[in-house]
Amino acid sequence: MRKVWDVIVDLIYEDPWQFFGPLVAVAVLYFLAQSVTAAWLGIVLFALVGLSLLLSLRRER
C-alpha cells in the first residue's frame, strides 16, 4: 500500500496535471457518456488527456 501511495505522490510531485488531468477527463466523460452514446466522446477523452500532457509540459518550455 505504501508503494502505491509513493507512486501517487511521485506523480503529483512531478506535475499535478499529469495526475489530476486524466482523472478529471475520465470523470467528465463518465457523466457525458450517461446521456450521449456517440463515438466522438472517445476523441473528447483523447483531447482532454492530451491537454493534460500539454499543461504538464508547459512550464518546461
- Point out which residues bind other proteins (CB under 8 A): 3-4, 6-7, 10-11, 14-15, 18-19, 21-23, 26, 29-30, 33-34, 37-39, 41-42, 45-46, 49-50, 52-54, 56-57, 60-61
Give the 3-state secondary structure of residue 41.
Answer: helix
Residue 46: CB minimum distance to other proteins, A: 6
What does DSSP assign to residue 8? H
What does DSSP assign to residue 60? T
Taking the C-alpha atoms of residue 5 and residue 28, their distance in angstroms, rounded to an integer, is 24
Residue 41: CB minimum distance to other proteins, A: 5
